[in-house]
Structures are given as structure tokens and as C-alpha cells.
Amino acid sequence: MTAQQPNPARLTREFFNRNTVVVARALLGQRLVRLLDDQRLSGLICETEAYGGPEDQASHAYRRTPRSAIMYGPPGYAYVYFIYGMHFCLNVVTEAEGRAGAVLIRSILPQEGIALMRGHRPGVSDGQLTNGPGKLCRALRITDALNGLDLTTSPVLFLEAGPSIPDTQVIITPRIGVRGDSEARLRPWRFVWQPAPLAAGLE
């Protein structure tokens, strides 16, 4: 008999080996999966932001430093950084090796392992579980220990193909919290899957 796909297809290197803004849009609807003690914690990506290279003042890769070096590396790797003394943010490296780029995962719609996510985010209502870059990292237990993982092969953190999202359901806005020059501030590089119940302000 024909073997049915027992598991959804994992996103490949080629998926990430594209223009960063294209990947940011294409990531909407894809499933982010975290494996913790054989338990699947997952959610559909519903908000992303693209960050470029030396031409993008808002990007960590605006300057090439030890921390941002991974953004200049091959696509498909996780870039997790620590911010504000207490939060982590998850990015996916894009573009061919030598060309800097990454997509910040800002929000997901919880799908599997919701009870575990609640445990990681005590005192928080379900709607606020993963609707922010720091929040989803906390809910999925993503820390800098996962920085540099190959998302196309890692058993503990990866992306699976999800439903495709039509343009009519996508809102595009400038990025949140960007303070570079006006060009960096105004770039329409934030993508939001509109039907998703988001607390983040939609403009």
C-alpha cells in the first residue's frame, strides 16, 4: 500500500534560502514545533518580521558582530537572542550563506501541548500564551541554549508545512519597536495573519 504521509513535511533548506521578506510572508500559517520530553508543543505562525543585513539599521546584522554572525551564515538555522534582561526571541536565518537575514517569529496560535504551555506561563490567560516574541519563547521553553540549531534537522525545534494563507487575510505594517532611521522604521516588513486573535495592535 502507499505509505501515507504520517507526518507533515518539514520545511527544507530551500524554503529559507530566499529573500528574507518573502520568507517572512511565507512563514505565516506554518507550524512551529518544539519537542520537550517527547511531547509536542506547537502553534501556527501568525505574526513575523523580516530583518535584513548591513542595509537595515533595525537589524542586529546591521553590524557584523559575534552575536549577529549567524545571520550571515547558511539559511535554516535558529537565531535566539536574549533581550531586556529576561526575554528570549526566536528568529529563523534566511538568505544564502554570506548574505545576512532573519525572520523574527512574533506570535503563534497554540495547537498542541497547550496544557504544557500554560504550565510555562503561570497566571496567564490562554489568549496571551504565545502572542508575543518573548511570550512564545517562554511558552515553548525556547532559550539561548537552542541558538544555532539547524531547524531542518533538529529533533527538538523545527517547522512543518501548515495551511497556506491567502493575501486577503494578511496585514502588512512597519516593524514594532524599530528606532533606526526613517527608512528602517517605515519598511513594511511585518506580516500578520489577520484572523488570528492577536492582542498586538493591528494598524
Partner DNA sequence: CTCTCGATGCGCT
Partner DNA sequence: GCGCATCGAGAGA
Return residues touching DNA (CB under 7 A). Answer: 49, 51, 58-61, 63, 65-68, 71, 79, 81-87, 89, 91, 102, 104, 121, 123-124, 128, 132-136, 138, 175-179
Of the two residues 31 and 120, which places its CB atom closer to DNA in the complex?
120
Alpha-carbon distance of 92 to 148, in angstroms, equals 10
Would you give the end-to-end CA distance of the chain in angstroms?
51
In the complex, least distance from residue 169 CB atom to DNA, rounded to whole angstroms: 22
Of the two residues 9 and 69, which places its CB atom closer to DNA in the complex?
69
> What DSSP state is assigned to residue 201?
P
Of the two residues 60 and 141, which places its CB atom closer to DNA in the complex?
60
Alpha-carbon distance of 146 to 52, in angstroms, equals 22
Dihedral, 184, 189, 190, 191 alpha carbons, nearest 10: 170
In the complex, least distance from residue 57 CB atom to DNA, rounded to whole angstroms: 9
Of the two residues 36 and 124, which places its CB atom closer to DNA in the complex?
124
Alpha-carbon distance of 123 to 54, in angstroms, equals 41
Of the two residues 18 and 161, which places its CB atom closer to DNA in the complex?
18
HEC sequence for 70-95: HHHCCCCEEEEEEECCCEEEEEEECC
Return the residue matching grid coordinates 507526518: 7
In the complex, least distance from residue 161 CB atom to DNA, rounded to whole angstroms: 23
In the complex, least distance from residue 45 CB atom to DNA, rounded to whole angstroms: 14
Helix (H), strand (E) at residue 115: helix 114-120
In the complex, least distance from residue 164 CB atom to DNA, rounded to whole angstroms: 24
